[in-house]
Structure 1
Amino acid sequence: MIQLLFALLFGEGLLILLLLVRTPLRKLVLLGLDRVKRGRGPAVVKTLATTVFVVLVSSVNSVMKIQRRASAVGSITPTDQVLMSKHMLEASMMGYALFLTLMIDRMHHHMTELRILRKQIRSSGEGKSAGGSGDNSNSNRRALEEDIAALQEKVKELQLESEAKDREAKTAETNAMALRKQSEGFLLEYDRLLEDNQNLRSQLQSVDRRLSHSDSKKNIFP
């Protein structure tokens, strides 16, 4: 489960990076997202997102149950501590995955709008040059210039929003790496606790054998 979530976060981070960097791959990614949003694609994505959200709620519920059991007993066992850390890690990773999915959807939406606006600006400029100076009045020119200025302002706003999304993506990727290192530490601690538990059981069995042996001697020699 954790390895699958790491792969999902890595894939979403790579997809965001391809959307932000101007490369030939970005066109392919945009075309792929366009196809995903057609037909049954949105329904499949919503179903997967709902499933991940349900698992996220289940993990949070498990963490709350462990905390309630620990508060009732007064202390938390090492096994419950490891399980709680595992559930918290999975919940955090699923939350980041849902957040990155939403961010990819918004980035694709804004980039599609930006592409349409640029086409409109080009078509407006071409229509202006093809119309001739004698056919266009000053009012029409002024209106076109105002429209172009408004479109350019919107393009700047979209670029600023895209830069903000880029910073959020970098932050999310950094948090994902930190969670991965934390999970590795939890797994090592879990292995150590299992080994300690096995050693304690072996010692208890040895003590039980000694006690049973001494009792048998007492029964033989009263």
Structure 2
Amino acid sequence: MIQLLFLVIFVEGVIAFLLLVKIGPLRDLVIKSLDQLKMGKGPATVKTIAGTMFVILLSNLMSIVKIQNKGSKLGIMSPMDQVLWRTNLLEASLIGFTLFLGFLIDRVHHYLQKLINLRSNAGASKEELENLKKETVNLKEKEEKSSKEIKQLSESLKKARLESKEKDKRIETAEVHVASLQKQAADLLLEYDRLLEDNQNLQAQTLRH
């Protein structure tokens, strides 16, 4: 029993060391092995073993207390009681240390899993952040292009307005010129009529003489 406990403590110590100190791919291998152990019926089996060891620990403690009480009553322990007391004390110490290492390995494995998940989530959030930055840059470029197009459109509208104003001015001047020409034509027609009348009068006078 004691040799088996020493072997278990040695294996647990190696596992705890590999979890705490990263040596190549050994940590990942240990984490994967513990993940597989915690799947299916593994947790129930581990709990059963831990419960059995805890019961054995309580039994050893009870034996230690009984041997001490017996020795205190007799005033001295027999050599056989001393051997049993030391054996029970060693077994209780080894079992307690084994349970402690098992609990430590479970907690370290749990927190390492959380750390791995946090790192993976951080990597995913970094990718999302980079994508958002790219989208922001693209949006800024599109905004700059649209602002340039808007400026060009506003300039073209200003030019069109100026050209329309110039055309309106030309039309107004042309209309004024046409009106003046029409007035001159009317005056010329009046003058022509007057000259015709004068010519007819002169012809009539010449015929009388």
Q: TM-score range by the shorter chain?
A: 0.5 to 0.7
- CA distance in 2 between counterparts of 1:35 and 1:125 reads 30
Structure 2 match to 1:48: 49
Structure 1 match to 2:112: 111
CA RMSD of aligned residues (A): 1.3
Quote the offset at 1:95 in angstroms: 0.1
- CA distance in 2 between counterparts of 1:14 and 1:117 reads 26
- CA distance in 1 between counterparts of 2:29 and 2:63 reads 41
Quote the offset at 1:134 in angstroms: 5.1
Note the alpha carbon deviations across 1:59-99, whole angstroms, 9 max, x for none: 11111111111111111111111110110000000000000
- CA distance in 2 between counterparts of 1:39 and 1:47 reads 14
Gaps of 5+ in 2: 138-209
Structure 1 match to 2:21: 21
Quote the offset at 1:50 in angstroms: 0.3
Note the alpha carbon deviations across 1:28-53, whole angstroms, 9 max, x for none: 11001001111100000000000000
Q: TM-score, structure 2 length as denominator?
A: 0.63
User: How many residues end up aligned between the 2 structures?
Assistant: 136
Structure 2 match to 1:38: 39
Quote the offset at 1:133 in angstroms: 5.0
Quote the offset at 1:132 in angstroms: 2.8
- CA distance in 2 between counterparts of 1:29 and 1:73 reads 52
Note the alpha carbon deviations across 1:142-169, whole angstroms, 9 max, x for none: xxxxxxxxxxxxxxxxxxxxxxxxxxxx
- CA distance in 2 between counterparts of 1:75 and 1:33 reads 48
Note the alpha carbon deviations across 1:107-155, whole angstroms, 9 max, x for none: 000000000000111111111112235539xxxxxxxxxxxxxxxxxxx
The question of 1:83 aligning with 2:81 is answered no
Structure 2 match to 1:9: 9
Structure 2 match to 1:125: 126
- CA distance in 1 between counterparts of 2:48 and 2:65 reads 26
Structure with max Cα Rg: 2
Name the amino acid aligned to 1:2: I
- CA distance in 1 between counterparts of 2:133 and 2:52 reads 59
For 1:171-210, list aligned pairs within 5 A.
none
- CA distance in 2 between counterparts of 1:122 and 1:134 reads 18
The alignment partner of 2:43 has SS state of: helix
Identity %: 46
Range moving further from structure 2, 73-82 or 104-113: 73-82
- CA distance in 2 between counterparts of 1:54 and 1:99 reads 15
